[in-house]
Structure 1
Amino acid sequence: MSIKFKTLARKNPQDILAPEKYYASAVGDGEVDLDALAEMISYQCTVTESDCYAVLISLERNIINELGQGRIVKMGRLGNFQVGISSQGKETPEEVTASDITKARILFRPGKRLRRLLNDLSFRKAG
């Protein structure tokens, strides 16, 4: 498996006068949507494409609902989803309130097989 990358110039946020440095940045090479996933899965088992699609849509709905309840969604070997937050720093725990939360994001912690994929990747420059 091989991932394309491009180079991007970036300034140092701690020293805006420092010269830019160039960094590798992964380039998306196409995409796959739920329809395509449902079709792929249907060819790999006895479940129809429409049944696979229905299950994937239901899975998405339930993941959203459970994350909205503050739960960690454990997807077995695939990995875990969880809501993460960032907040402003305060001097004491008592000063921290919900209004200090500046950002929420979805965290995904991949399972062992997905993590192993990262060790097996090769990279090639795009273009």
Structure 2
Amino acid sequence: MVQLTTIQRPNPKNRDAAKKFYAQVIASGTVDLERLAYLVSNQSSVNEGDCYAVILSLVHNIIDELKQGKIVKIDRLGSFQIAVNAKGVDSAKNVNPSVIKSVRINFRPDKKLQNKLNINTIDFSIK
């Protein structure tokens, strides 16, 4: 069950407009790599240590491929891609790596994953 709370937010385009109330998800905890390895090992014939090693290797290789500028697509999970926040400059010839302020990873879920996680497949409750 996914717990929801109610929050009040202003309109970012018009701070003078009346605030509205929105539902927001309350995280019920965190699942780490060890837990995922344990779950996978209990659903297969592979032991927990091997699952952990494979997942760690996958993460390492995703990072390496992203550093090469590639989009990493994992079927049924989604795609990872590097994105940057950069300072604006006055001329195209002034665009260079020094204008980059930060790097992030964008994730786009696979359509199959997105379809399996929808409003009809989740039980919600208000806390």
Query: How high is the TM-score relative to the length of structure 1?
Result: 0.80
Identity of aligned residues (%): 42
Which shifted more, 29-38 or 10-19? 10-19
C-alpha displacement of 1:89: 5.5
Q: Distance between the aligned counterparts of 2:19 and 2:87, measured in 1?
A: 29
Cα pair 1:27 1:126 within 8 Å, conserved: no
- What is the RMSD of the two structures over their aligned residues, measured on CA atoms? 2.3
Alignment length (residue pairs): 126
- The one-letter amino acid of 1:64's match is I
Which shifted more, 100-109 or 65-74? 100-109
C-alpha displacement of 1:88: 5.1
- Once superposed, which parts of structure 1, at least 4 consecutive aligned residues long, lie more than 6 Å away? none
Q: Which residue of 2 aligns with 1:78?
A: 77
Cα deviation 1:81-103 (Å, max 9, x = unaligned): 11123445567655544444454
Unaligned runs of 5+ in 2: none
Secondary structure at 1:47's aligned position in 2? coil
Q: Which residue of 2 aligns with 1:5?
A: 4
| Residues 1-127 of structure 1 mapped to structure 2, 5 A cutoff | 2-87=1-86, 93-94=92-93, 96-119=95-118, 120-127=120-127
Q: Distance between the aligned counterparts of 2:50 and 2:9, measured in 1?
A: 46
Q: Distance between the aligned counterparts of 1:6 and 1:125, measured in 2?
A: 9
